[in-house]
Chain A
Amino acid sequence: MTDNIQTRKFLKMSASPHINSPINTRIIMLDVIIALLPILVWSIYVFGIRTLWITLISVASCVVFEYIYRKILKKSNTVGDLSAVVTGMLLAYSLPSTVPLWMPALGAFFAIVIVKQLYGGIGKNILNPALAARVFLFISFSKELSTYAVPHSSDVVAGATPLALLQKGTIPETGLFDMFLGDMTGCIGEISVTLILLGGIYLIARKVITWHIPVSFIATVALLTLVFPAQNAPNVSFMLYELCSGGLMLGAVFMATDYATSPVTKAGRLIYGIGCGLITVFIRYFGYPEGVSFAILIMNLFTLALDKITAPVKFGGGNKIGEKK
């Protein structure tokens, strides 16, 4: 079929470039969801079907809150970019499977409405929504947030996570291999180091994230715990237990790499990851048994400053950003 040119005298104008990469926000978020899914399946196997309900409630609440908020404020609908789904999954992953079913919904409200949308929506929030909501719930309901399911059983256990033992310098009974595999107690998404690392490799291969934050974050924790083990614990195994325990891997791979709240430059990302590692170990040694959430949230606040001080030198040299000529 050819068009009669005379009937189409005036054409659409647009400014160059006239083509776009096929990769859009939705595809990126879909990749994150794909990387997160195996972790959920494993967790259902370890903690039972309740894990799934918690996750579904969290995801559904995030999506619904985002939809309603944007609708009420007559803003464009952004549910389709799937970022609310990712937030919902990450929020659920950072909760124990034993929490009451209303709790993920409350957390979703905090994450989506207060942390994300009040600041302008995707890309504009200064804190990681899922982590901020987790900390909000942790401070408000610390008992519920510290009660974990025992793997493959209906029993629950309060507080006695491997990290609580490590803080006292005791090596936990759970074998290192089980810890690495994820056959242990903990939050829904943090137990399987193996699957989290595989997810990270997938995201790096798909160019969704770069290696800088996860590697510098984990390496910093590894170095510090190796050099300064708590009490008289044996160095190497103490370090390995520290790496496999708590939310470190989940945080380093999926939370600290959140676009909106982490730097855009490579150097900035390295510093950011090192900062996360330092604060994590500091809190683990001198404060709560777990410090990953706080560490990342604190480093979130440095994102803009890190972008600015690590701004690349423009091609052809000259003044660095912010410098007077």
Chain B
Amino acid sequence: MSMAKTFRGGIHVPESKNTKDFAICEFPSPKVVSIPMQQHIGAPATPLVKKGDSVKIGQVIGRFDSGLSCPVHASVSGVVKDVEMRPSYTGFGKTAHVIIENDFKDEISEEVKPFDGDIYNASIEEVTEKVKEAGISGMGGAAFPTYAKISSAVGKASDIIINCAECEPYITANHRLMLEEPETIINGAKILKNALKVDSVIFAVEANKKDAAKVLSENIGDEKGLKVVILKTKYPQGDERQLIFALKGVELPAGKLPADVGCVIFNAETASAVYKAMKTGMPLVKRVVTVDGDALSEPKNIRVPIGTSYEDIFNFCGGVKENIGRIISGGPMMGNAQWSYDSVVMKNTSAILALSEKEEKKKSEGNCIHCGKCVSVCPMHLMPNYLAAFSKVDNKEMCEKFNILSCVECGCCTYICPGRVPIVQHIRNTKAQINAQRKKMAASAAEKM
């Protein structure tokens, strides 16, 4: 057997895939959902409903049509209780939330219509339109609007990569989906393949999910152009740059899109959502979420309506334990800590983790001992130790010389650092400042013109 494909750098994290044998279970319809108008990269959607309106499942409740954005749909049927501004899940700024009280009638909107015709012969325009109307955005975490990604690949991509790496610890949502509904992922990939007129679809699966790879292979059968490739289990294998490198041996230059090197990448569940939107017309109103963490009583994989609160989910999973320290939306490497149980499931919420506080006692930042471990694990081949040191003294010029803007913030450096220096946190801070500065300069330059 040949060596599993991989990339240079990265880390081996304890996998903690405790839920890999837990079948996806349907989450009981919640009493209330709070649906954020921004769950995607781009402009927030404008709410189309107001207090007192009746809505049905799949009905558009928010959209913004000029520029990059994604429509948002009701995930339950009922009455709009309120439209209010709440803090966004990243902690920065506020987002409008449409709050719907469930009437438990589960009525489906008349707007929900399957694609009229053969879904495997749909044109690129038809697929793009349907995907856009279904409000699909990247479900692996990045939340880039899928219709825009498809458009960017037209005429450029020669390979579709279905990202089934799921390299973050704990998360098994994609793993379970591959085992339980492999045909939806494969059919979604086939729709995209035909629409984009490409010859090759690669399902990239990490070696710790060989059972899922087998199921995918069996379901693909002898379908031409579709194949499953096993990748070494290593974080961040699911990062699109590392994925392309592992599969094609090409380093995607900074500032370029995967389409520029002939690839377009979709998350496994995103592909499944594309299929469902085409087949049934149902937009993205539910997703699979792994609920886990050492401070959670009953870890589960659940299929849950968008907008369901963490409080409802934790209660469904037996509650959290006394020693809870943080709750994380997403994986422990790149997920966002949440400040309240009022946080809700969004289109890109692949996991919700309740982590205990047992970690090392909180102490002041440690010292860099210049061991070089961060340099050897950095998948972008940067020198994180120097970036952190220059960031600490606010030397942006040196940071830029040391290529700080190439950092993808995967967190390998902070994870591995024996001195407990919050390396990526320092880098992130400086990156944000540099980007803000550039934006300001560009804006003032535009003004002068």
Interface string of B307-324 (1 = CB under 8 A from A): 000010011001111101
Distance of A260 Cα from B428 Cα, bound (Å): 25
Q: Which of B291-313 contact A (CB under 8 A)?
A: 297, 311
- Interchain CB contact under 8 A, B419 and A123: yes
* Segment from A133-141, A288-296, A313-321 that makes contact with B: A313-321
| Residue from the list A18, A123, A318 in contact with B370, Cβ < 8 A | A123
- One of A4-12, A152-160, A167-175, A178-186 at the interface: A4-12
Judged by a CB distance under 8 angstroms, whether A194 is at the interface is: no
- Contact check: which of B11, B321, B369, B379 meets A260 at CB < 8 Å? B369
**Binary interface encoding of chain B residues 403-414 relative to chain A, with 1 for a CB under 8 A from any of its CBs, else 0:** 100100101001
Candidate in A18, A20, A312 with the most chain B CB atoms within 10 angstroms? A18
Q: Report whether B403 and A123 are in contact in the complex, using a CB–CB cutoff of 8 Å.
A: no
Q: Identify B415's interface contact among A20, A260, A307, A312, CB under 8 A.
A: A20
Q: How many interface residues does chain A have, given as a range?
A: 35 or more
Flag B242-263 by CB within 8 Å of A: 1 or 0 each.
Answer: 0001000001111010000000
Q: Does chain B have a CB within 8 A of A231?
A: no
Is there an interface contact between B334 and A17, defined as CB atoms closer than 8 Å? yes
Judge if A311 is at the interface, Cβ distance under 8 Å. Answer: yes
Q: Are B320 and A2 in contact (CB under 8 A)?
A: yes
Chain A min CB distance to B309 (Å):
10
Q: Which residue of B lies closest to A315 (CB)?
A: B380
Residue B381 is within 8 A (CB to CB) of chain A in the complex? yes
Q: Which of A23-31, A36-44, A87-95, A245-253 contacts B (4 or more CB under 8 A)?
A: A23-31
Q: In the bound complex, how far is the Cα of B321 from the Cα of A317, in angstroms?
A: 47
A311 and B402 contacting across the interface, CB-CB below 8 Å? yes
**Chain B residues whose C-beta falls within 8 Å of the C-beta of A21 in the assembled complex:** 11, 415-418
| Cβ of B371 to closest chain A Cβ, rounded Å | 5
CB neighbors of A among B355-391 (8 A): 355, 357, 359-360, 363-364, 366-372, 375-376, 379-383, 385-386
Complex contact A11–B371 (CB within 8 A) = no
B-chain residues with CB within 8 Å of residue A24 when the two chains form the complex? 360, 366, 418-420
Are A14 and B322 also in contact (CB < 8 A) when A20-B359, A313-B381 are?
Answer: no
- Are B381's CB and A312's CB within 8 A? yes
**Does B422 count as interface, using CB distance less than 8 angstroms?**
yes
- CB pair A14–B326 under 8 Å, yes or no, is yes
Q: Mark A115-127, 1 if CB is under 8 A from B, else 0.
A: 0000001111000
Contact residues in B for A2 (Cβ distance below 8 Å): 297, 318-322
With A and B bound together, what is the CA distance between A143 and B96 in angstroms? 80
Say how far A175's CB is from chain B's closest CB, in angstroms: 39
Is B241 at the interface (CB under 8 A from chain A)? yes
Q: How far is the CA of A124 from the CA of B392 in the complex (A)?
A: 14
Asked if A13 lies at the interface with its beta carbon under 8 angstroms from chain B, I say yes
Q: Is B332 part of the contact surface with A, judged by Cβ < 8 Å?
A: yes
B359, chain A: closest CB distance, angstroms:
7
Closest CB of chain B to A309's CB: distance in Å?
A: 12
Query: Measured between alpha carbons, how far is A260 from B371 in the docked complex, in Å?
Result: 7
Q: List chain A residues, Cβ under 8 A from B416.
A: 21, 23
Which segment, of B66-74, B78-86, B338-346, faces chain A?
A: B338-346
The yes or no answer to B47 lying at the interface (CB within 8 A) is no
Task: Give the complex CA separation of A259 and B409 in angstroms.
Answer: 25
What's the Cα separation between A315 and B240 when bound, in Å?
13
Task: Judge whether A264 is part of the interface by a CB distance below 8 angstroms.
Answer: yes
Minimum distance in angstroms from A201 CB to a CB of chain B = 19
Q: Whole-angstrom distance from the CB of B385 to the nearest CB of chain A?
A: 6
Instruction: Please report the C-alpha to C-alpha distance between residue A152 and residue B379 in the assembled complex, in whole angstroms.
Output: 54
Interface residue ranges of A209-250 to B (CB < 8 Å): none
Q: Does A15 contact B (CB under 8 A)?
A: yes
Q: B403 to chain A: which residues have CB within 8 Å?
A: 314, 318-319, 321
The one of B13, B320, B360, B370 that contacts A3, using a Cβ cutoff of 8 Å: B320
With A and B bound together, what is the CA distance between A63 and B377 in angstroms? 32
Contact of B411 among A17, A259, A307 (CB under 8 A): A17
Query: In angstroms, how far is the closest chain B Cβ from the Cβ of A94?
Result: 21
Q: Enumerate chain A residues within 8 angstroms of B370, measured Cβ to Cβ.
A: 123, 259-262, 264
Contact B385 A316 (CB under 8 A): no
Assembled-state Cα–Cα distance A136/B315 (Å): 66
B155 on the A face (CB < 8 A): no
B424 at interface, CB cutoff 8 A: yes
Q: Using CB atoms, name the residue of chain A closest to B314.
A: A5
Q: Is B337 an interface residue (CB 8 A)?
A: yes
Q: For the complex, give the distance between the alpha carbons of A54 and B32 in Å.
A: 73
Question: Is there a chain A Cβ closer than 8 Å to B208's Cβ?
Answer: no
Give Cα A10–Cα B416 distance, bound, in whole angstroms: 29
Bound form: Cα–Cα A58–B98 in Å: 68
- Is B333 positioned at the interface, with any CB of A under 8 Å from its CB? yes
Q: Is B169 an interface residue (CB 8 A)?
A: yes
Complex Cα spacing A307 to B402, Å: 12
A26 CA / B324 CA spacing, docked (Å): 27
Of chain B, the residue at the smallest CB distance from A27 is B418
Residue pair A3, B418 in contact (C-beta under 8 Å): no
- What is the CA–CA distance of A259 and B417 in the complex, to the nearest angstrom? 13
Q: Are A123 and B340 in contact (CB under 8 A)?
A: no
Contact B320 A9 (CB under 8 A): no
Residues of A within 8 A of B164 (CB): none
Contact indicator A1/B339 (Cβ below 8 Å): no
Task: Please tell me if the beta carbons of A121 and B367 are within 8 angstroms of each other in the complex.
Answer: yes
Q: Which residues of B45-93 are within 8 A (CB) of A?
A: 91
Q: Are B369 and A19 in contact (CB under 8 A)?
A: no
Is there contact, CB below 8 Å, between A9 and B321? no
Given contacts A16-B333, A316-B252, A321-B401, contact A25 B419 (CB under 8 A): yes
Contact of A5 among B251, B315, B339, B424 (CB under 8 A): B315
Question: What residues of chain B lie closer than 8 Å to A78, measured between beta carbons?
Answer: 367
The answer to whether A265 and B328 touch (CB under 8 A), given A5-B311, A20-B359, A24-B420, is: no
Q: How far is the CA of A265 from the CA of B321 in the complex (A)?
A: 44
Closest to B14 in A: A19
Q: Which residues of B contact A260 (CB under 8 A)?
A: 369-370
Partner of B320, one of A5, A13, A319: A5
B380 engages A314 (CB within 8 Å): yes
Question: Can you offer 8 A-B residue contacts whose CB atoms are under 8 A?
Answer: A1-B322, A11-B326, A21-B418, A122-B369, A264-B372, A264-B375, A314-B382, A315-B381
Further pairs besides A16-B409, A322-B401: 13, Cβ < 8 Å: A3-B321, A8-B341, A16-B336, A16-B337, A21-B11, A21-B416, A24-B419, A25-B369, A25-B419, A25-B420, A264-B385, A313-B381, A321-B383
9 nearest interchain CB pairs? A264-B372, A2-B319, A17-B411, A316-B253, A312-B381, A123-B369, A315-B380, A18-B332, A259-B371
Q: Which A residues are closer than 8 A to B by beta carbons?
A: 1-3, 5, 8-21, 23-25, 27-28, 76, 78, 83, 121-124, 259-266, 307, 311-319, 321-322
